[in-house]
Amino acid sequence: MNKELAAEHKVSVICKEALAHLPATKTVRLPSDVEFRGETIYFIVVDRFLDGCADNVGKETSLNDPTRKDWHKYWGGDLQGIIDKLDYLQGLGVTAVWVTPLFEQLESPTPYHHAPIHGYWTQDFYRINARWVNDGEEVSMTKPSKTAFDRLIDELHTRGMKLILDIVCNHSTPESVDGKGKLYQDGKLVADFDNDHEHWYHHYGEITNWQDEWQMQNCELCGLATFNENNVLYRRYIKDAIKLWLDRGVDALRVDTVKHMPVWFWQEFCADLITHKPETFIFGEWIFSHPENAISTDFANRSGMSILDFGLCVAIRQCFLGTAPGGFHLIEKVLERDVNYRGANELVTFFENHDMSRLQAAGASNETLRLAVALILVSRGIPCLFYGCEQYLVAEGVDNGEDPYNRPMMSKWDQSTPVYTLTYALSRERVKNPAIQWGGQWQKYITDDVYAFTRRFRESRCFAIFNKGEATTIDTVDTELPDRTHKCLVTWREIVVEGGAIKNLELAKNEVVVISHIGETLNGKSIAHIQLNGINAADDECVAIIGDCPELGQWDLRDAYRLEKINGNTWFGQLVFDQSAGHSITYKYVILGNLAEKAPRRENRTGRRRNIVAEGIAKWRDVWEEL
């Protein structure tokens, strides 16, 4: 990390500590205190990160491989290893750590002699895997204790970072020498697939038709015992278990295999957990979701959780690997469909994970990887990096790096690699610039090899341009930036903007330019983050909110608060409530055009009611009503 970046990193930490001590009458909240749109996620396969405690070998030692040659066995990574490298992760700019499931796993050999190093074969959701905590530490989540898990939570929160827990609700365990689907509640057997008197499981065999929705939701995935979500005993079990983990400090949940359970289950599940802990962010894995796939977008819009953006992932891989024609047009085609989502800016974006080959295993160079990282760090959505990409981690010569060979042991901790320093530079800007967190993404220039866009929210802007081809010069590109000399966040190159545009912009091969301009920061005692979906106003119209309080104009359209267009389905705004803080208000949305020529169009419903928080930040999510 160069001296300038290191100095700014230190200042940002000091500033956050100072803000925590501001008087309550002038509360200022950082975006990371409120929601996930300002986060940078780092996804860790716990077993393959770092062995911080050599003694936690588990009950069944045949599942271990201390030589680290058998890719299907435990290699020794644990939570103490993550704690030991938090300085490294914070220096990278990571603000949220996503870990593979921590629950107690199957501890008996399977016919294939595979160990559940991934964490998706859970036998007790009320206990932590003894391999993840230090030897001899308490594994029950129902008993007060101070394990490596609790220390990790404390260390993360002290640094202003968050923990995302990976969970799976669809299934428990496969066949093993001890049977199949034995489920425990803090050590007590509560269900058994082979002796299922209370119908905790479905018994319809394995999926044979992957296009059949009923089979997808009721049949077995890879021989795993599949839970019967219709059984209220199971639903209480799983929800109460996850609440224990939230109460111990987990900030967010990543949910595995969500397409394999009906949406009504997820609606109940998310509602219960968010009621229990309102600031919980939840996102799910609908594998190969796509904005043109109505089933997956409907799930994202109605389930109560966001999803991983597989559509963008595939487009990024095709673009940078050259496996399909179109280059950057492939990416833009996906982003043009953001209108199909109610929360496109809350989709979790990525280009590699534990279920697919790493980008470099598929053929990408170091420079190409750097472009891909930069792209997701400044594009719409919440970026997620797979552990080790900043060190160019890849297993050479093994099955093209597919699962499980995409999960090598982390071995290097170099804080000066180009991807490491770039990630810090851009992730810190996410925290500061509301345009990157909440703004729309507007394409400014595109060819197969060159792509430029501006992120926009109120007065804030972030302009980015990527060149994956040979050196080139762009005659003129609009940026919407203020006229002056700006400095690129990546190269520190000075670039002049005149008339909102850059002229004769020279781009080297594999160069990325990112310029950030931050407008006035909104501070206040009570702030609402207001999002409206379901309405696409005309180009000469805007959406506003009016109501019975001073901040909303006392129903006077001239003083209505105008929202900002994010895309054709989403309008967003931040509003400070001073006089109305702590009170109940009535409001509704209205479409405004040229008042002299076009009458305003109000929602066709009675006024909405909402209690304004006395202090802090609240997220509003509304859908336009016209019928």
Q: Are strands 281-284 and 306-307 parallel, antiparallel or unpaired?
A: parallel
Q: Check if the beta carbon of residue 71 is closer than 8 Å to that of residue 118.
A: no
Could you give the CA distance from residue 495 to residue 19 in angstroms, rounded to a whole number? 33
Q: Are strands 616-623 and 252-255 parallel, antiparallel or unpaired?
A: unpaired
Dihedral angle of Cα 484, 489, 494, 498, to the nearest 10 degrees: -30
Enumerate the β-bridge partners of residue 191.
183
Neighbours of 168 (CB within 10 A): 24
* Nearest residue to 261 (alpha-carbon basis) of 328, 135, 170: 170
* Nearest residue to 125 (alpha-carbon basis) of 259, 201, 235: 235
- Report which DSSP code applies to 409: P
Residues known to be catalytic:
256, 285
Instruction: Give the residue carrying structure tokens 């405690």.
Output: 53
Q: Which two tokens stand for residue 15?
A: 């500033």
Q: Which two tokens stand for residue 240?
A: 């109460």
Burial class (CB in 10 A: 0-12, 13-18, 19+), 397: exposed
Cite the DSSP H helix spans in 415-521: 418-432, 434-438
* Nearest residue to 336 (alpha-carbon basis) of 477, 429, 453, 487: 453
Distances in Å between the Cα of 586 and the Cα atoms of 547, 583, 606, 622 are 5, 10, 9, 14
Could you give the CA distance from residue 272 to residue 269 in angstroms, rounded to a whole number? 5
Dihedral angle of Cα 535, 536, 539, 542, to the nearest 10 degrees: 20
**What does R_g of the chain's alpha carbons equal in angstroms?**
25
- Report which DSSP code applies to 194: G
Could you give the CA distance from residue 139 to residue 132 in angstroms, rounded to a whole number? 10
Dihedral angle of Cα 455, 461, 462, 467, to the nearest 10 degrees: 80
Instruction: Give the residue carrying structure tokens 């199909």.
Output: 340
At 328 the three-state DSSP class reads: helix
Instruction: Give the residue carrying structure tokens 């015992």.
Output: 225
